[in-house]
Amino acid sequence: MHSIRSVSPIDGEPLGEFAVSSTESIRRQMRAARVAGASWAKLSVKSRAAILGKFVPLLLTELDSICDIIVRSTGKVRTEALLGELYPILDLLKFYQKHAGSILRRQGVMTSPFAFPGATAGIERRPYGVVAIISPWNYPFQLTMAPLLTALYAGNAVIFKTSELSLPIGQLIFELCRRLDLPENLVQCVVGDGAAGTELIDAGPDLVFFTGGLTTGRAVMQRAAQHPIPVLLELGGKDPMLVFADANLQRAADAALYGGFCNSGQACVSVERLYVQQNCFDEFLALLQQGVAKLQVGHGEHGDLGAMVSDRQFAIVKAHYDDAIAQGARASGPLERQGNYVKPVLLWQVNHGMRVMREETFGPLLPVMTFEDEGQALRLANDSDLGLNASVWSNDIAKAERIASQLQVGNWVINDVLKNIGHPGLPFGGVKKSGFGRYHGAEGLRQFSYPVSGLTSRSHLPKEPNWFPYSDQRYRQFKGYIDFVYGSGSLLQRIKRNWPALEAFKEYSAFDLTQRWQNLKLLLSWKRDY
């Protein structure tokens, strides 16, 4: 394969030809990235932030043209491109612009004056070096830019590969980076399919960040393990939404439609399992049916859902729909497709034996199931191999938070959907087979660096107590010291029974134990008298 022809999922119009990166070119890119990364890492966080902060006015200046490219490349409607792809990046930039310095600052650690007299200790954060980012086709701008910027703030060089279905987005990001005052080759782009991703890992980056499906995530992890290279994996979801009878049902219904069908359901945090309490189910289903009938598909002036990206993904949606209908599910209508536009469908009378309730659908199907009480709601929500995001709906906030705390997910939100994952200060990632590692927030920034711990001794003693020579007497003295520090009883009891050992170590202590003992006796005497 020498080139890949990119076409728009909206109308099949060509978007360009992209030369596939060769094995040798990827290796050259890795060597160049190491040189660029070394100079970038020497800059202070403040200096890096000053350069990266210029992304904000650049993105604002190019906002309409960026959204146009995203729409043509992904099939999204224009508002979805703006709010789902661009806005979160602006918010993340502002967050790290303000907080990256304090997050990555050297952190002091307390030391024992007995065990480490005259010593200070701390932890510093260092960039990995070169970070390889492999991003998906559903949110190619956001899910490339977020880890890319995080890696840069942490002091790394980046080589990224967008999906072969999103190559114009990769070119767009590369060109935007070139317009900043970044070292040459600090940010580079690889073009290709899964084979190019394999070549990128084999070229030996220092960290791999992958966003995508479980099957490909396993392959990425296996490949990285051969070198070995640490990986951060943000994989799929089968996210539950729990609606209790005491919720604002109209708001919850509107949220369910948005959470299930934004970007035509092609989001890892889409609502893919909707559980509704039995005593409000009929009312809630009626609200959903009214709402789904009003949704508009297409790129007209009022379009809500855009095009699906690929035939392969539609085939999965159709298989889930057909399986559910065959097992007795009811639907709001047939699964209709015109070109790559797919009409959203509600499913009910579903159960966990159906594929649509167990496998990631990633399309415009929203299955709805009933539950009786809190216990059953939790059992159903946690009955999944995936654990990415979830929402709980109730006007009883204490109850909702209690339930959320028992959900087996990496993230949750109460009385809203999806929005929590865009919060720049909250680390985002999954549990179970939804992956591991985090990005966003302080924890996300630290994930793109590694801790180095150090201890500095300022002791003027000729030798330390743990140095040679050893003897039986020294053993007894150390044993007494350990009992003084960790043993049972009051401080006075521990001092009394271990006084010979403490006397033996007083020359090493930051404090004169004899004087401390005298002070303690005076204090005890004062307490007796008064």
pLDDT in tens, 165-176: 999 999 999 999
Q: What is the pLDDT of residue 528?
A: 46
pLDDT tens, position by position, 125-143: 999 999 999 999 999 999 9
Q: Residue 512: pLDDT band by 50, 70, 90 thresholds?
A: very low
Each as own residue / partner, the long-range contacts of residues 463-472 (CB below 8 Å, 24 or more positions apart, any chain) are 464/508, 465/505, 465/508
Is 329 in contact with 348 (CB distance < 8 Å)? yes
Distance CA 264, CA 97 (A): 33
Which DSSP symbol is given to 84? Answer: I
Q: Is 384 left (phi over 0), alpha (psi -120 to 50) or beta?
A: beta
CA dihedral 378→379→380→386, nearest 10 degrees, is: 90
Q: What is the pLDDT of residue 238?
A: 98
Q: Residue 11: pLDDT band by 50, 70, 90 thresholds?
A: very high
Domains, in order of start, for the chain: 47-235+443-452 (3.40.605.10), 239-418 (3.40.309.10), 472-529 (no CATH)
Q: What is the mean pLDDT of the chain?
A: 94
Distance CA 40, CA 459 (A): 36
Distance CA 371, CA 389 (A): 19
For residue 66, the number of C-alpha atoms closer than 13 Å in the C-beta half-sphere is: 27
Is 76 in contact with 261 (CB distance < 8 Å)? no
Q: What is the pLDDT of residue 526?
A: 46
Q: Beta strand 391-393 with 119-127: parallel, antiparallel or unpaired?
A: unpaired
Q: Residue 505: pLDDT band by 50, 70, 90 thresholds?
A: confident
Q: What is the pLDDT of residue 1?
A: 56
**End-to-end Cα, the chain, rounded Å:** 91
Q: What is the pLDDT of residue 464?
A: 86
The catalytic residue positions are 234
Ordered DSSP codes for 396-442: -HHHHHHHHTTS-SS--EESS-SGGGG-TTS-B--EETTEE--BSHH
Q: Residue 509: pLDDT band by 50, 70, 90 thresholds?
A: low
Is 153 in contact with 98 (CB distance < 8 Å)? no
For residue 214, the number of C-alpha atoms closer than 13 Å in the C-beta half-sphere is: 16
Instruction: Kindly state the percentage of the chain with pLDDT values over 70.
Output: 95
Q: What is the pLDDT of residue 227?
A: 97
Strand partners, 377: none
pLDDT tens, position by position, 447-473: 999 999 999 998 888 888 889 999 999
Per the omega criterion (within 30 degrees of 0), is the bond before 136 cis? no
**Per-residue pLDDT averaged across 403-418, rounded?**
98
Q: What is the pLDDT of residue 517?
A: 53
Q: Beta strand 130-134 with 207-211: parallel, antiparallel or unpaired?
A: parallel
Q: Give alpha helix (H) positions in 268-408.
A: 281-294, 311-326, 374-382, 397-404
Q: What is the pLDDT of residue 520?
A: 52
The continuous run of DSSP H or E covering 360 comes out as none
Q: Is 394 left (phi over 0), alpha (psi -120 to 50) or beta?
A: beta
Q: What is the pLDDT of residue 34?
A: 98
Q: What is the pLDDT of residue 132?
A: 98
pLDDT tens, position by position, 280-321: 999 999 999 999 999 999 998 899 999 999 999 999 999 999
pLDDT tens, position by position, 51-74: 999 999 999 999 999 999 999 999
Q: What is the pLDDT of residue 523?
A: 47
**Per-residue pLDDT averaged across 363-375, rounded?**
98
Beta strand ranges found along 415-528 (DSSP E): 431-432, 435-436, 449-457
**Per-residue pLDDT averaged across 251-278, rounded?**
98
Distance CA 60, CA 71 (A): 17
